[in-house]
Amino acid sequence: MFVDTHCHIHESSYPLDTNDVLAHADSKGVSTYVCVGTSIQSSKEAIAFSRDHKNCYASVGVHPHDTKDGYSIDQLVRDNTVVAIGEIGLDYFYQHSDKQTQKEALKAQLDVAVEHNLPVIFHVREAFDDFWPIFDSYGGAISGVLHSYTDSIENLQQALQRGLYIGVNGISTFTKDRDQQDMFDSIPLDRLLLETDAPFLTPVPFRGKVNEPAFVTTIAQHHADRRGISLKDIAKQTTENARALLRI
């Protein structure tokens, strides 16, 4: 059994029929999903979708791109479908929201995570110099995962030292960057989480198609092959990791 720890199939803009998508995923052994909010509206959609679908859970949060539009998630987090806060963080690559607003939003949403004892799904891009001091200011009270991690081995080590999990998706199957490939190979199996980020980042050999949770098995097979272990072993460990972090 596999868990897709990060997808956006709940959003109204998702282009595929979700009943077909979930049936396809179930046929591939992917039976548990986390629908991740990126805005207030997206988070509401994640909750509504999770209420209506078995083995589906919601994460609520405002992506750094959207923090300029507000980031009050206090009421959303009380729904019993919610298992995490996210995706939240810092993104200095695009800066759709200014740096100060992003940092204020991150701190405010981390306060909610601490108050409700929820893990966090982090989006951090070209911003670790500001991210680590904010994370550390919580004194070890935050558990979570670095979603769609593609950064350096040095920052990977920083994350592991802080007890964070590392989310990998289709990027790991198509990157040509040797340093990235080496970094992915060095992630300890007991810290690895599988995700699709559907509809984005479709893995090889399905490039050009809309991403969907069924493809998490393709990502898993890629990493099993590179590590010289069985698909069953990677399924077992990553599912245990997901359950440990998200309590699902």
What's at 199, amino acid-wise?
P
Tens of pLDDT, residue by residue over 187-208, are 999 999 999 999 999 999 999 9
Going by C-beta distance under 8 Å and a sequence separation of 6 or more, which residues neighbour residue 122? 86, 87, 88, 89, 131, 144, 145, 146, 147, 164
Query: Which tokens belong to 124?
Result: 């951090």
What's at 238, amino acid-wise?
T
Q: Tokens 């949770």 — which residue?
A: 213
User: Cα(62)–Cα(86) distance, rounded to whole angstroms?
Assistant: 7
Burial label, 184 (beta-carbon count in 10 A; 0-12, 13-18, 19+): buried
**Strand arrangement, sheet containing 120-125:** 2-7, 30-36, 56-60, 82-91, 120-125, 144-146, 165-168, 192-194
For residues 198 and 9, the answer to whether their CB atoms sit within 8 Å is yes
Residues of the chain falling short of pLDDT 50: none
User: Cα(218)–Cα(202) distance, rounded to whole angstroms?
Assistant: 10
Whether the ω angle into residue 154 lies within 30 degrees of 0, i.e. cis, is: no
Tens of pLDDT, residue by residue over 60-89, are 999 999 999 999 999 999 999 999 999 999
Query: Which tokens belong to 160?
Result: 């592991």
For residues 59 and 85, the answer to whether their CB atoms sit within 8 Å is yes
- Which domains, and CATH codes, for the chain? 2-246 (3.20.20.140)
pLDDT of residue 202: 98
The length of the chain is 248
Q: What share of the chain is helix, strand, coil (3-state, %, to 5)?
A: 45, 20, 35
User: Cα(205)–Cα(241) distance, rounded to whole angstroms?
Assistant: 26
pLDDT of residue 150: 97
pLDDT of residue 95: 85
